[in-house]
Structures are given as structure tokens and as C-alpha cells.
């Protein structure tokens, strides 16, 4: 098992890609902290993973836009497990609109969750990982943070910021053996894309060289690689998981 007895905190992990990452880590022996703004869903996911994979889990409610919530998340995790080996910053939202029509509230909300939330979570865990002299931080960015996308100025800016933050933290933390990397997903099948018509999904697939949308498991597999010792000489990198949409 690649992550046996390690402790992984995954934000926004009650459902979707975050849940798939949590399950993939649990299969490899990690104890899991499910954290989400929706505590009911978080608890249900934590219970399911504990039962399914025979690992220890805990569900903690947190709003990543609040540093105090992130600090509370880390404190409760340490109370339960006494260490934190892996942090996956997965929590994110979209509020798409053209720049001409985008409201200040739509801009602020996305930047606050997707970029400030990553900063808050990293800041909250840094002292612990520095003391341990070990850690893995994995930030979920996006292909549009690299190439942009019409109607997603706020989302693109937030994810581009996550990539820059990843590289800076990698440089600042490397002396303490803390590796910081990002994953930039392309179009991935999620509850959000499931709501799209077949016609719209076909249009998305047309711009992807592999001619299909990705699966949440594709992202989870990359996260597992970055969390494990297989990636022990990789930091400050962005793994593009997009079917060739950006090369």
C-alpha cells in the first residue's frame, strides 16, 4: 500500500472529484479527513469510506474562505491523528459569466473559494508540516488557469493564481521536505457536466484530442502519484490531465 497509515486532508471531499481522491487514498491505506461546507454529506462520505476500506476517517465542517475554519480543521485533525502527511486543496466553485456581465460578487466569490481558500488551507497546515519536516500539498488547478476560457474570467484567474501559488510554496517549503504540486484537470465528468445536454458534451469532446471527457478517477490517480513516494523528486510542477486539450 502506497499510503499506509498516512493522514490525508482533502477539502471539498464530500462528493465529486474530492470524494474519488479520498477513496483512492483510502484504498492505499491512508486515514482520511473529509472536510466540506456540507457536514451531513461529509459525514456520510466519511462513514462510507471507513466501512468500505477499513481505514480511520473523520468528517469536519469547514469553509475554506475563513482562515479560522482552516485552522480549526487542522487542529481537529491533529487531535484525532497527531499528524498530517497530505493536504489536497480541492474545494472550488464556478460562477461563469462574460466579463462584460460579471458582477463584483461573482468575481469575489470565486476568487475567495478557489484562490484564497487554497492559501488559507496551506497557511493553516504549514507549521505542522514544517515541524514534521515532511509533507505533500496537492492543489487542484484547471486547464483554463493555463489557457483561459471565455465566460470564466474569475475561474481562470483563480486557477492561474493557484498555479503561481503552488510554484512559490514549492520554493519556500522545499528545505523542509514538503513537496507542493498542482493538477490541472481538463473537462472531467462530474455532477456539473452530467447536467449538460449530450450535444454540449459532444462539443466539448470535439476540442479534446482524445475525443472524450475525463473521469474523476483520472484526477485521483494523478493525486495518488503526487502523494506517494513515487514523486519524491517532483515539486513545483503542474500535471496536466486533459486528454491533450492543452499541450
Residue 192 in any domain: the answer is yes
The total number of structural domains that make up the chain: 1
pLDDT tens sequence across 219-244? 999 999 999 999 999 999 999 999 99
| Neighbour-count burial for 7-18, b at 16+ CB within 10 Å, e otherwise | bbbbbbbbbbbb
Residue 225 in any domain: the answer is yes
Residue 2 in any domain: the answer is no
- Cα distances from 167 to residues 22, 148, 160, 172, 238, in angstroms, run 24, 19, 11, 9, 9
**Partners of 57 in the β-ladder:** 32
Helices marked H in the chain: 16-27, 39-53, 67-81, 104-111, 117-132, 144-147, 153-173, 191-194, 198-206, 216-227
pLDDT at site 216: 97
Best CA proximity match to 141, nearest among 207, 69, 233, 222: 222
Apex 133 CA angle, 130 and 135, nearest 5: 85
Distance CA 69, CA 91 (A): 14
Residue 244 in any domain: the answer is no
Task: Write the CB contacts of 92 (distance below 8 Å, at least 6 apart in sequence).
Answer: 12, 113, 114, 117, 140, 158
Q: Which pTM does this prediction carry?
A: 0.97
Say what angle helices 117-132 and 153-173 make with each other, to 10 degrees: 10
**What Rg, from alpha-carbon coordinates, does the chain have?**
17
Residue 40 in any domain: the answer is yes
Q: Which residues are catalytic?
A: 155
Residue 247 in any domain: the answer is no
- Number of CB atoms found within 10 A of residue 210's CB: 12
Cell of 39: 457536514
Its domain, for residue 222, covers 7-237
Residue 195 has pLDDT above 90, yes or no: no
Question: What mean pLDDT is predicted for residues 207-211?
Answer: 94
Q: How confident is the model at residue 77 (pLDDT cuts 50, 70, 90)?
A: very high
Residue 245 in any domain: the answer is no
Q: How confident is the model at residue 204 (pLDDT cuts 50, 70, 90)?
A: confident
Residue 148 in any domain: the answer is yes
Cell of 239: 500535471
pLDDT at site 194: 76
pLDDT at site 218: 98
**Partners of 59 in the β-ladder:** 34
Distance CA 77, CA 79 (A): 5
Question: What mean pLDDT is predicted for residues 84-95?
Answer: 97
Residue 200 has pLDDT above 90, yes or no: no
Residue 202 has pLDDT above 90, yes or no: no
Q: How confident is the model at residue 109 (pLDDT cuts 50, 70, 90)?
A: very high
Instruction: State the CATH number of the domain containing residue 38.
Output: 3.40.50.720
Amino acid at each position: 500500500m502506497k499510503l499506509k497509515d498516512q493522514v490525508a486532508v482533502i477539502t471539498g471531499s464530500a462528493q465529486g472529484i474530492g470524494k474519488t481522491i479520498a477513496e483512492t487514498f483510502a484504498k492505499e491505506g491512508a486515514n482520511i479527513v473529509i472536510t466540506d461546507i456540507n457536514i451531513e454529506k461529509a459525514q456520510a462520505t466519511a462513514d462510507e469510506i471507513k466501512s468500505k476500506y477499513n481505514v480511520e476517517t473523520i468528517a469536519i465542517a469547514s469553509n475554506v474562505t475563513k482562515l479560522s475554519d482552516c485552522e480549526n480543521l487542522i487542529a481537529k485533525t491533529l487531535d484525532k491523528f497527531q499528524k498530517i502527511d497530505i493536504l489536497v486543496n480541492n474545494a472550488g466553485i464556478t460562477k461563469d459569466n462574460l466579463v462584460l456581465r460579471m458582477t463584483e460578487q461573482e468575481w469575489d466569490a470565486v476568487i475567495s473559494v478557489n484562490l484564497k481558500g487554497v492559501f488559507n488551507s496551506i497557511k493553516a497546515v504549514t507549521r505542522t508540516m514544517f515541524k514534521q519536516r515532511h509533507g505533500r500539498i496537492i492543489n487542484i488547478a484547471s486547464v483554463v488557469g493555463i489557457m483561459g476560457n471565455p465566460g470564466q474570467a474569475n475561474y481562470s484567474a483563480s486557477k492561474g493564481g493557484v498555479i503561481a501559488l503552488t510554484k512559490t510554496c514549492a520554493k519556500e517549503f522545499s528545505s523542509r521536505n514538503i513537496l507542493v504540486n498542482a493538477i490541472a484537470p481538463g473537462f472531467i465528468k462530474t455532477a456539473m457536466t452530467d447536467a449538460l445536454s449530450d450535444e454540449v458534451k459532444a462539443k466539448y469532446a470535439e476540442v479534446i484530442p482524445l475525443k472524450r471527457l475525463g473521469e474523476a478517477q483520472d484526477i485521483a490517480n494523478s493525486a495518488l502519484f503526487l502523494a506517494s513516494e513515487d514523486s519524491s523528486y517532483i515539486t513545483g510542477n503542474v500535471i496536466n490531465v486533459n486528454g491533450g486539450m492543452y499541450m
